[in-house]
Amino acid sequence: DQQVKQNSPSLSVQEGRISILNCDYTNSMFDYFLWYKKYPAEGPTFLISISSIKDKNEDGRFTVFLNKSAKHLSLHIVPSQPGDSAVYFCAASDGGGADGLTFGKGTHLIIQP
């Protein structure tokens, strides 16, 4: 039973345009959400997080939106750059991040020149 779902295995976006990566969750106890970026043969790199008391968090080109009623979050990258090509993982925690994270399967983002 997957508690965090990323239903798009891959996404192709033109350089300079907006990339939108989606994530759904089923556990209503989750209260902290994170996005990670991963290149092959490297560990995940933290991008941005959001607490369940907020509905938006922004950091430079990255914005995360949280819709608690729909149990849905999304990551927006504007503008998309070639270096953004990677696998993006959505993760969630029910302990404010203190306990282990539950990850989705990831979305492979490809930025086309």
- Which residues are at the interface with other proteins (CB under 8 A)? 4, 32, 34, 36, 41-46, 49, 89, 91, 95-106
Minimum distance from residue 10 beta carbon to other proteins (Å)? 12
Minimum distance from residue 58 beta carbon to other proteins (Å)? 16
Nearer to other proteins, 17 or 54 (CB): 54
| DSSP, res 82 | G
Side by side, the strands of the sheet bearing 56-59 are: 4-5, 19-25, 72-77, 62-67, 56-59
3-state secondary structure of 80: coil
Nearer to other proteins, 41 or 53 (CB): 41
Name beta bridge partners: 51.
32
